[in-house]
Amino acid sequence: MRQLLISNRARITPPSPIRKLAHLARKAKKAGTHVYHLNIGQPDIASPQEFFDGIRRFDQPVVAYELSQGNEGLCNAWSGYINRTLGIATKPEQFMITEGASEALVFLFETCCDPGDEVIIFDPTYANYLGFSTIAGVNLVPVLSNMENDFALPGREKIEECITNHTRAILICNPNNPTGTVYTKEELQFLFDICEEHNMFLIVDETYREFVYDDLKPLSIFHVVPDSSRVVVVDSLSKRFSLCGARIGCLVTTNEQVLAAVLKIAQARLAAPTIEQFAAAHMLETIPDSYLEGVRKEFLLRRDILDAALRQVPGVTASKPKGAFYTFVQLPVEDAEAFAYFMLDEFSHEGKTTFIAPAAGFYMQSEQGRQKARLAYVLEKSSIEDAVATLAAGLREFAK
Ligand SMILES: Cc1ncc(COP(=O)(O)O)c(C=O)c1O
């Protein structure tokens, strides 16, 4: 049979760097090795009881399609929750419920850009942005940020020199995955001003908004720019409420044109999951604010434990993240990906190994990430300590 062709788009879509080594982890586990997953942002914290109560309360005889724009009760509850906890004034009709933040981002690339258009991101970046943009035929244009200054935003000149006639948006994730950087009011205003000047959208991915540490308070772009039609927020219940598998996210904007255009795309995919939306609405209406405060404190503890443990490992430099639940590390190896392979394929210490995410996959200029890795502090305290001890043993062995 002649070979059937697959699309160029499918061929150039990059595999997730986080999942790329997963087959080796499975193999190690089959061989009886315990694998500490510091590679993926899947929190181990229990999902809220209020969500499961919501599932139990679903009493319809048919699991029908939801509205394409999302369950009305969920739009009301999400808007109410944001307004109450952040002190801002969104309206339910500004929400579009999606299958996770992931689908919201695909919708936005498809809505704000034509194929061949460009979106500016900051390198390193959340790796799946590359997959989402490729699906929509959009080119991401990276502006490099540096570990030496905690991945602060590059200066205006550096950003503006990347803007062309095809640039449609700046996309930023705040707090940042993979770096843990939290951008300030001034930095968000700075990005908004650039977008104003060059007539671009500002898309802010606030998936980790509540996970901020030390003296920081959750900051939304809506605090800085409450009602600009060029601002779109992408949000998700995945991390905040340990509901990664529920697949519930949203986009929020005052821009009615964007909402109407996204709705047409959303209608083509019919709807996001019915029961999960129902349960999420119940959860947001009933969950006490203390839930999130407890989760935030737990991640703060884990951050500090990871940071202290990493500082004991010879040759490792770690940035101390201010938000999200990721730490970027510089490793004393030539090639962090080869080291990650080694850890899963060849190494174990007392029957255990540690799975790290090599950073090259988070950089569009992948050479920049060659000696770096991202660690997710999503495990409980003693596992983090043991995972770092295992990592240190692996580094010693790798150096031999
Ligand atoms: C920055 C960022 N945006 C979006 C997503 C996707 O989240 P969701 O599960 O809501 O699709 C993730 C998931 O890791 C993420 O880290």
Residue of 239, 248, 251, 252 best suited for mutating to test ligand 1, as the one with most atoms within 8 Å of CB: 239
Ligand 1 mutation target, pool 97, 151, 177, 374, most atoms within 8 A of CB:
177
pLDDT at 30 over 80: yes
Instruction: Work out the angle at residue 260's Cα, subtended by the Cα atoms of residues 254 and 263, and round it to the nearest 5 degrees.
Output: 115
Read off the pLDDT of each residue in 117-122 and give the average, rounded to a whole number: 98
Buried residues in 299-329 as b, exposed as e (16+ CB within 10 A): bbebbebbbebbeebeebbbbbbbbbbbbbb
198 plus 262 within the same structural domain: yes
* Residue at which a domain ends, from 288, 307, 330: 288
pLDDT at 99 over 90: yes
Instruction: Report yes or no on 21 lying in a domain.
Output: yes
Assess whether the C-beta atom of 43 lies below 6 angstroms from ligand 1.
no
Q: What pLDDT is stored for residue 10 in this prediction? A: 87
Per-residue pLDDT tens for 136-192?
999 999 999 999 999 999 999 999 999 999 999 999 999 999 999 999 999 999 999
Q: Which one-letter amino acid corresponds to residue 141?
A: V
pLDDT value for 91: 98
pLDDT at 18: 72
Pair 344, 225 in one domain: no
Question: What band does 20 get if pLDDT is binned at 50, 70 and 90?
Answer: confident
Q: What is the pLDDT of residue 16?
A: 77
Q: What is the CATH number of the domain that holds 307?
A: 3.90.1150.10
| pLDDT tens by residue, 248-291 | 999 999 999 999 999 999 999 999 999 999 999 999 999 998 99
Residue 177 in contact with ligand 1 by CB distance below 6 A = yes
Ligand 1 centroid vs 84 CA: distance in angstroms?
23
Please give the average per-residue pLDDT across 13-17, as a whole number. 78
pLDDT in tens, 31-73: 999 999 999 888 889 999 999 999 999 999 999 999 999 999 9
242 within domain boundaries = yes
| Domain carrying residue 146 | 49-288
Give the phi and the psi of residue 170 in degrees, each rounded to 5.
-110, 135
Q: Residue 68 maps to which CATH number?
A: 3.40.640.10
Q: Which of 246, 263, 288 is the last residue of a domain?
A: 288
Q: pLDDT averaged over the chain? A: 95
Residue 102 CA: nearest ligand 1 atom is 11
Residue 101 CA to ligand 1 centre (angstroms): 5
- Ligand 1 contact via 176 beta carbon (within 6 Å): no
Instruction: Give me the phi and psi of 357, to 5 degrees please.
Output: -100, 110
Q: Are residues 29 and 55 in the same domain?
A: no
Q: With contact defined as beta carbons under 8 Å apart, do 357 and 324 qualify?
A: no
Q: How many angstroms separate the alpha carbon of residue 112 from the centre of ligand 1?
A: 19
* Strands lying side by side in the sheet with 118-123: 95-98, 249-252, 231-236, 201-205, 167-173, 118-123, 139-144
- Interval between CA 236 and ligand 1 midpoint (Å): 7
Q: Is 102 in the pocket of ligand 1 (CB under 6 A)?
A: yes
Q: Looking at ligand 1, which atom is closest to the CA of residue 248?
A: 10
103 and 201 share one domain: yes
Q: Is the CB of 173 under 6 A from ligand 1?
A: yes
Q: Is residue 2 part of a domain?
A: no
Q: Ligand 1 in contact with 333 (CB < 6 A)?
A: no
Residue 177 CA: nearest ligand 1 atom is: 1
CA dihedral of 84, 175, 101, 42, whole degrees rounded to 10: -110
Q: Is there a single domain that holds both residue 241 and residue 366?
A: no
Q: Is any atom of ligand 1 closer than 6 Å to the C-beta of 325?
A: no
126 CB under 6 A from ligand 1? yes
CA of 376 relative to ligand 1 center, distance in Å: 13
**Report field, pTM of the whole predicted structure over 0.75:** yes
Return d(Cα 247, Cα 106) in angstroms, integer: 14
Give the distance (Å) from ligand 1 centre to CA of residue 127. 10
- Residues 27, 122, single domain; the answer is no
* The last residue of a domain, from among 267, 288, 309: 288
Domain count, the chain: 2
pLDDT value at position 19? 75
**Which strands make up the sheet holding 317-318, listed edge to edge?**
317-318, 326-330, 372-376, 357-358
Report how far apart, in Å, the C-alpha atoms of 270 and of each of 92, 105, 243, 249, 263 are: 20, 17, 22, 15, 10
| Residue 167 shares a structural domain with residue 218 | yes
| Under 8 Å between Cβ of 318 and 329 | yes
Residue 27 lies in a domain: yes
Q: Which two tokens stand for residue 113?
A: 């850009």
Whether residues 167 and 304 share a domain: the answer is no
pLDDT at residue 88, rounded to an integer: 96
Q: Is the CB of 98 under 6 A from ligand 1?
A: no
Cβ neighbours around 383 below 10 Å, total: 20
The pLDDT value recorded for residue 1 is: 81
Q: Is residue 187 in a domain?
A: yes
Q: Are residues 250 and 362 in the same domain?
A: no
| CA 384 to each of CA 30, 35, 183, 291, 305: distance values in angstroms, whole numbers, following the listed order | 22, 12, 26, 22, 7
Contact 252, 235 (CB under 8 A): yes
Name the residue with the closest Cα to ligand 1, atom 13. Answer: 41
Q: How far is the CA of 102 from the centre of ligand 1 (A)?
A: 6
Are 113 and 232 in contact, with CB atoms under 8 Å apart?
A: no
Evaluate: CB of 207 within 6 angstroms of ligand 1: yes
Do 194 and 241 share a domain, yes or no? yes
268 & 226 share domain: yes
Q: Is residue 337 part of a domain?
A: yes
Does residue 164 form part of some domain? yes
Indicate whether 59 and 32 sit together in one domain.
Answer: no
Angle at which helices 289-311 and 381-399 pack, to 10 degrees? 30
Establish whether residue 94 lines the binding site of ligand 1, counting it when its CB lies within 6 angstroms of any ligand atom.
Answer: no
- Ligand 1 touching residue 244 (CB < 6 A): yes
**Domain assignment present for 1:** no
Nearest to 111 by CA among 83, 90, 85, 132: 132
Atom 4 in ligand 1: which residue has the minimum CA distance?
Answer: 101
